[in-house]
Amino acid sequence: MNEKVQIVFGLLGGLAIFLFGMNMMSDSLQKAAGEKMRTVLGMLTKNPVMGVISGALVTAVLQSSSATTVMAIGFVSAGLMTLPQAISIIFGANIGTTMTAQIIAFNLSDYIYIIIFVGFIIGFAAKKQKIKYIGNTILAFGLLFEGIDIMGSVMKPLASSPFFVDMIGKVAHVPVLGVLTGLLMTLVVQSSSATIAVLQNFASQPAADGITSIIGLAGAIPILLGDNIGTTITAVLASIGQSIDAKRTALAHCIFNVSGSLLFIWFVKPYASLITLLSPKGNEVDVISRQIANAHTGFNIVMTLIWTPLLWLMVKIVMKLIPGKKEKTVVLGQPKYLDDKLIGQPVAALHLVAHETLHSAHIVQRMLGRAEEITQKESDAVLGDIRAQAAGVHALSEKINEYLAAVFSFGAIAEDQASMATGVLLIQSEIDRIADLCRSIIENIAGAKDKKLKYSKDAMKELRKSMELIRRMFEETLVLMADPEKNEPDSLKKEREMVMDIGEEMRKDHVKRVAKGKCDANMTLSFNALLHDLDRMGSSCLNLSDTALKEIHFSTLLQGDPDPETESRLPADGAVREPVR
């Protein structure tokens, strides 16, 4: 086979193994760190410094600043995170992503196969799921280095090619060409970690003297800067079709990396000298991989130190460049929080699903309030609203089911996360059932009117009392779902018993009214159905609280509920204007 073709195929094959290993390591780390990741997410709402730290930690686990950036954009678009919080996470993600380059700088060529073997044995033989994830992480780590080793071996002939050496010489001595090279590489591969790995490998190839690097640190730094600019395209693509704040978050990512590159491009040689001074000593060809990793880390730390105190300025800049209000209309039945781009990140995906579930519960809360109006005065408008809201809740239930099915299909979900996802489905099922029962009760009342029949005032008064009690039970359940510390032992059970007692009294009173001629006997079947629906609603409230509190600890999935006032202003037509956060 032609030598040039062999080099191309080798580079592509090595790159494929590297990316496969990196993705596998990311998935395994996510599964192994499941609960820890949720703790890190809980740090996101604290302050800018904690945002930077959590952004770095999440990126270290995900092994991708792009994945963290997409997650931040998804959260800010859903209204679960403010613009300053999202931007601070972006800053941290840029530091976290440098871990990959630091790991790659270790010369592990002699240990690759034993690492792969050990990882395989642990993953294959382990009984505990978490140990299997650790084994798979080690296996992926070995594959990652095998990809790097393949790329390094096929690059060796390039070092002796006069044409290639001349071309690299031009790039090395014209920083702008280096930036453009790095930018194009990252745009093609869509991974700055991968392109920096290629750069580290290429720079490790010796020049004619066998000691110095073919490109040198001063030639590699501009390419590194281009890589940092190129990685912002993922954030830009993720923000397409998202909210204004999501677009502003993506723009902040671009400004961070572009401003850093524009600053550092003037100091390439002094910066290279500083990194050489701070890095391990030795022949350039032996230490340049570590020097590039340190240059990458140094660039992102310096820019984070510059921009974090100026976070307010970054917010002003992006708001000036992308003006507009962040209000958005939420159509009844359409997801408010779900983001398909986060399906591969189960912790973040479950976070969004929990908020979507709470969103549907708040619609039911308003349904119950509207249903009480029917017991006081029949209204076709209110009946239409309740029917629309019930249909909206059912549509949301289907969307949540489809979204979680996609999360399961992606294959990155751990066993404990799968258990929590199943619990969320049970909760959503109960919420959907309560919405359907509420609609059924109102349809029952409207059906009587259509038959030229009517419940007595006494019956409606008793019904109103039961509906008020059900609404109170449901509202207490919502409070417990968000904050289990507010739990009052046996409170819901007592109210459930009250619903049953009232139902029994209503049944007896109805029989008495029929005997006295105050109620039509033909209403008995419908009235019993109505009481049965009330009883089932009370049971569903209890099931809801039991699942949310005892089985899956629903509040841990929320990691900070959005302002409940946001959820309480959904008018009957299904549109809501979100307040500025």
Which tens digit of pLDDT belongs to each residue from 489-536? 566 667 767 767 776 777 777 677 767 776 667 667 777 888 888 888
pLDDT at residue 221 tops 90: yes
pLDDT at position 560: 44
Where exactly are the structural domains of the chain? 3-321, 340-567
Q: Whole-prediction pTM value?
A: 0.80
Q: Check residue 42 and give its pLDDT.
A: 62
Q: 433, 531, 534, 553: which is closest to 487 by C-alpha?
A: 553
How large is the average pLDDT for residues 185-193? 79
**How far is residue 282's CA from residue 262's CA, in Å, rounded to a whole number?**
30
pLDDT digits (tens, 9 = 90+) for 88-139: 989 998 898 888 888 888 878 778 899 999 999 998 888 888 888 889 989 9
Q: Mean pLDDT throughout 170-180? A: 82
pLDDT confidence tier of residue 44, bands split at 50, 70 and 90: low
**Pick from 201-205, 290-294, 332-336, 562-566: least confident:** 562-566
pLDDT single digits (tens) 68-93: 888 888 888 877 888 888 899 899 98
| Contact of 211 with 285, CB cutoff 8 Å | yes
Taking only the tens place, the pLDDT of each residue in 223-239 is: 999 988 988 887 888 78
CA–CA distances in Å: residue 547 to residues 360, 428, 459, 540: 16, 11, 33, 10
pLDDT reported for residue 330: 67
Structurally, at CATH architecture level, domain 340-567 sits in: Up-down Bundle (1.20)
Q: What is the DSSP string of 97-148?
A: THHHHHHHTS--GGGHHHHHHHHHHHHHH--SHHHHHHHHHHHHHHHHHHHH
Residue 579 confidence (pLDDT)? 32
Q: 12-16, 255-259, 354-358: which range is least confident on average?
A: 12-16
pLDDT at 570: 40
Spatial separation of the C-alpha atoms in residues 211 and 196, rounded to whole Å: 21
pLDDT tens column, 282-307 = 888 889 999 999 999 999 999 999 99
Q: What is the mean pLDDT of residues 171-186?
A: 84
At residue 581, the pLDDT reads 30
Q: Cα(386)–Cα(22) distance, rounded to whole angstroms?
A: 50
